[in-house]
């Protein structure tokens, strides 16, 4: 399949908060672990969202000088896909940002502290067993980590960006506070009231949610549990 360097702004995911008129083309994202609607090319993040530089040329200079850090590592590919909950750090400016989703379904960056920039959150989406029966966790951001802990699919891990080791764990369960990243209630914090499996093979999990007195259903895949009564991470 051909790889395109650019695409029409009109064809960009609706979650991207970019101008649709004016300049016709925009950088196409490099395929990664995140869904296209939950990630944005680094060049777009820096030029149009964070606005750290006005031109692609200036952004390339910053990347070549290793002045832009994503999840603890310098990135030099301008089309690197920055995904939901990823952290961009600009050490020289003393700035750190996390990619989140707002209540109108648009991805945007919020400024966070230096301490919060030390970790990302990711959901356990799969488990595999390596040679010598070593258990491996597959995370929503594409990372794979070894762990003997008994984590379940849907649980959220707070992962140190330098060591890539879990530092905190939140279980996916009823009564937990969750953050929604899709569907009809994006960017909303809501309690998980109950979950149920539907379909002939019972493979699709639906969560019944409650927020502000309203009850509604959403696909459990669109949820990230973030705490009990309050969020344990800044997302607004």
Same domain, 165 and 212: no
Q: Which of 68, 95, 114 is the last residue of a domain?
A: 114
Which CATH number does the domain housing residue 28 bear? Answer: 3.10.290.10
Report the C-alpha gap between 77 and 97 in whole angstroms.
18
pLDDT of residue 1: 36
**Phi and psi (nearest 5°) for 146?**
-85, 135
Q: Which of 155, 170, 185 is the last residue of a domain?
A: 170
Same domain, 66 and 127: no
In a domain, 203, yes or no: yes
For 23, 52, 70, 108, the CA distances from 18, given in Å and listed in that order, are: 11, 15, 21, 10
Same domain, 145 and 71: no
Which CATH number does the domain housing residue 217 bear? Answer: 2.30.30
Report the C-alpha gap between 113 and 196 in whole angstroms.
37
Report the C-alpha gap between 47 and 220 in whole angstroms.
33
In a domain, 1, yes or no: no
Same domain, 131 and 221: no
Please tell me which residue, 177 or 3, carries the higher pLDDT value.
177
Q: Which of 114, 133, 160 is the last residue of a domain?
A: 114
Domain count for the chain:
3
pLDDT digits (tens, 9 = 90+) for 61-108: 999 999 999 999 999 999 999 999 999 999 999 999 999 999 999 999
Q: 7 pLDDT band (50/70/90 cuts)?
A: confident
Show the DSSP H helices in the chain as ranges. 42-44, 56-64
Number of H helices, E strands in the chain: 2, 19
In a domain, 160, yes or no: yes
User: What pTM did the predictor assign?
Assistant: 0.90
Same domain, 71 and 105: yes
Please tell me which residue, 188 or 202, carries the higher pLDDT value.
188
Residue 194's domain spans which residues?
A: 177-227
């Amino acid at each position: 399949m051909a790889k395109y360097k650019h695409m029409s702004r009109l064809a960009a995911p609706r979650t991207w908060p970019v101008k649709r008129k004016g300049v016709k083309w925009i950088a196409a994202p490099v395929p990664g672990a995140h869904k296209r609607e939950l990630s944005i090319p680094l060049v777009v993040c820096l030029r149009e969202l964070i606005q750290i530089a006005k031109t692609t040329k200036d952004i390339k200079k910053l990347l070549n000088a290793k002045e832009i850090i994503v999840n603890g590592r310098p990135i030099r590919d301008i089309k690197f896909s920055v995904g939901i909950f990823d952290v961009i750090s600009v050490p020289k400016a003393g700035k750190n940002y996390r990619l989140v989703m707002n209540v109108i379904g648009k991805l945007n960056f919020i400024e966070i502290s230096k301490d919060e920039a030390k970790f990302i959150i990711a959901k356990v989406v799969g488990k595999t067993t390596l040679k010598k029966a070593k258990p491996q966790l597959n995370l929503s951001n594409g990372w794979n980590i070894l762990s003997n802990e008994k984590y379940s699919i849907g649980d959220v891990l707070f992962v140190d960006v330098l060591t890539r080791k879990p530092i905190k764990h939140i279980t996916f369960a009823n009564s937990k506070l969750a953050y929604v990243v899709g569907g009809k209630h994006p960017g909303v914090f809501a309690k998980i009231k109950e979950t149920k499996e539907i379909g002939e093979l019972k493979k699709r999990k639906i969560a019944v949610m409650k927020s502000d007195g309203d009850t509604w259903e959403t696909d459990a895949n669109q949820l990230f549990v973030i705490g009990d009564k309050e969020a344990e991470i800044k997302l607004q």
